[in-house]
Amino acid sequence: MKIIDGTAMAEGILGKCAEAVAGLKSTGVIPGLAVVLVGHDPASDIYVRRKIAKCRQVGVRALEHRLPAATTTAELLKLIASLNKNGEVDGILVQLPLPRQIDEQAVLDAIIPSKDVDGFHPVNVGRLSTGGKALVPCTPLGCMHLLSSVIDDFRGLKAVVIGKSNIVGKPVAMLLLDRECTVTVTHVHTRNLPEIARTADILVSAAGSPGLVRPDWVKPGAVLIDVGVNEIFENGRRRIVGDAELDGLTHAKAATPVPGGVGPMTIACLIENTVRAAAIRVRT
């Protein structure tokens, strides 16, 4: 079985982004990403730092906005409105989850679709589902890059997606459908999940449930994309694992590890979306 190296693939994408950024800079445009973090969630803080570091690596200008945990929806909407108008900002990323007092959907809806590099705005969601030109959510985009490294022709393949969230499960299903796969989306109430999983040529697990996908859920020759990021404690030590255990998966064609699979690709695709948004700005 091939272990798909998401870290190496992400570096390849970032290298291409750096070249595109250099090209844009020669025309006087520096792509800019506004990163908004509300509160002090430690995991969110780590994600934001990583995103900003990758921006710097490729020459994208990162504009960091850290707001107090008690920020109101109105205050955040005011910031979004100013970022929408700011000519130095090509992409706006609001790190989720937001504190409970904030109306998350109102905030995501307020981001102008052309700067919605997370692809969560209803206009981009609609374009994705109608096959139009959209900014596509980063994790699903990363999953498709990873799959494309081991699959030449997606047409007619049976794809099973575990998880139906708006940020992973549903958009990845749309992208697979767009590539002419026959897609089944499953979730926590799905009956006979192991049997359904065993029918998949492509199995994408985005449940957030460690140990969920057992080796006998994976059909011989199938490709497994493990999106799950789960923190477990073993013998007093903290470990990050996915939804699947790769030991015992020798019969699969390929699989992504956790860490080092989907995670780095998500960040690379965010940068890719930002550079794309900047390139579109230059053309229009």
Tell me, yes or no, if 95 is annotated catalytic. Answer: yes
Query: By the 8 A CB rule, do 36 and 65 touch?
Result: yes
Looking at the Cβ atoms of 180 and 231, the one nearer to ligand NAD is 231
Closest among 142, 84, 144 to 108, alpha carbons compared: 84
Residue 163 within binding range of ligand NAD, rule CB under 6 A: yes
Residue 144 within binding range of ligand NAD, rule CB under 6 A: no
Rg, the chain, Cα only: 19
Least Cβ distance, residue 209 to ligand NAD (angstroms)? 4
Least Cβ distance, residue 196 to ligand NAD (angstroms)? 10
Tell me, yes or no, if 57 is annotated catalytic. Answer: no
Q: Which one of 33, 55, 193, 271 is in contact with ligand NAD (CB under 6 A)?
A: 193
Query: By the 8 A CB rule, do 123 and 140 touch?
Result: no
Least Cβ distance, residue 240 to ligand NAD (angstroms)? 10
CA atoms within 13 A on the CB side of 270: 28
Q: Would you tell me how many other CB atoms lie within 10 Å of the CB of residue 28?
A: 7
Least Cβ distance, residue 141 to ligand NAD (angstroms)? 11
Looking at the Cβ atoms of 4 and 279, the one nearer to ligand NAD is 4
Q: Which one of 99, 208, 215, 260 is in contact with ligand NAD (CB under 6 A)?
A: 208
Tell me, yes or no, if 105 is annotated catalytic. Answer: no
Q: What are phi and psi of 73, to 5 degrees?
A: -60, -45
User: Which residue among the candidates 54, 90, 95, 116 is catalytic per the annotation?
Assistant: 95
Segment interacting with ligand NAD, rule: CB under 6 A, options 29-37, 65-73, 105-113, 185-193: 185-193
Closest among 200, 197, 203, 202 to 217, alpha carbons compared: 197
User: Which residue among the candidates 116, 118, 226, 243 is catalytic per the annotation?
Assistant: 118
Question: Phi-psi region for residue 231, left (φ > 0), alpha (ψ -120 to 50) or beta?
Answer: beta
Closest among 180, 168, 116, 177 to 142, alpha carbons compared: 168
User: Active-site residue numbers?
Assistant: 51, 95, 118
Binding residues for ligand NAD, rule: CB under 6 A, are: 139, 162-165, 167-169, 186-188, 190, 193, 206-209, 212, 227-230, 262-263, 266
